[in-house]
Amino acid sequence: MPTYHAKVFVTLKPSILDPQGRTVERALSHLDYANVSGVRVGKYIELTLSGERAEVESQLADIVENVLSNPIMENARWELEAVPMQEGREVAGA
């Protein structure tokens, strides 16, 4: 069965305050990186799905919307990439 590697990016909507990002920004300004602004901290989730592409895509859209993100406060986008058969069991380099 084909295997797909998915990358999911979840970010707070621009109108939502991001205290974690503000904290990072303040820390950076104390470290003399005064030219840094607009720090926003989101989530980056990797997962592997097996199945036919169309089915996997619809599953992933469901998972991203219902499990991995909160559509009220967050935006989410995802990328799907087929895993070549012979590499299906390999682990990406450290």
* List of residues contacting its own copies (CB under 8 A): 9-11, 13-15, 21, 24-25, 27-28, 31, 33, 35-51, 56, 59, 63, 67-68, 75, 91-94
Smallest gap from Cβ 19 to its own copies, in A, equals: 14
Of 27 and 82, the one with the shorter C-beta distance to its own copies is: 27
Rounded to an integer, what distance in angstroms lies between the CA atom of residue 10 and that of residue 13?
9
Instruction: Report the first-to-last Cα separation within the chain, whole angstroms.
Output: 26
Of 14 and 19, the one with the shorter C-beta distance to its own copies is: 14
CA dihedral over 66, 69, 75, 79, signed as positive or negative? negative
